[in-house]
Structure 1
């Protein structure tokens, strides 16, 4: 099992902001995952990969694909307290789910 977190590369997030948005995405998708899958993922080392998205439209296309595949996911919007405008879409988490299910949604993306 794994989780893929897809972060935007077009909005100039600093490293700390990026780390915070990835963490928000990971936790949000985890909370929407069924308890059995959460237990399996945690017991298996909580494998994660962080990938690049070129912009907001790609985030929403991937979220739609995850929805169609029945894979837990979460789109993250920034609160606007620091670097970005409130409501800016920053990241998407896909999974945790079986590797092949996550790969059907995000397998074509590049590593961050």
Structure 2
């Protein structure tokens, strides 16, 4: 079991903002998963990776692919309280899910 979080590289997010957006995505996708997937992921060490996304359109496309694979996923839109405009898409989490399926959606991306 694995989770991949894709964070945009084309917007200016400070380190703390990036960490917060990745955390929001991870937790939201976890909440989207079924009980069996949550249990399996937690008992397996909660494996996750953070990957680079080139922009909003890429994250939307990956979310569509995750949906087609029936993987839990979450697209994060910033509230706009600090560095970004309200509604800015910042990150996407795919999984927790079977590693081969998560890799089918995100396997071509580089590590952040």
TM-score after normalising by structure 2: 0.99
The alignment partner of 1:51 has SS state of strand
Equivalent pairs, count: 112
Corresponding residue for 2:54? Answer: 54
Gaps of 5+ in 1: none
Corresponding residue for 2:94? Answer: 94
Deviation at 1:12, TM superposition (A): 1.0
Gaps of 5+ in 2: none
Cα shift readout 1:36-92 (whole Å, capped 9, x = no counterpart) = 110010000000000000000000000000011111100000000000000000000
CA distance in 2, matches of 1:67, 1:37: 16
The runs of at least 4 consecutive aligned structure 1 residues that moved more than 2 Å come to: none
1:26 aligns with 2:26: yes
CA distance in 2, matches of 1:46, 1:90: 22
TM-score after normalising by structure 1: 0.99
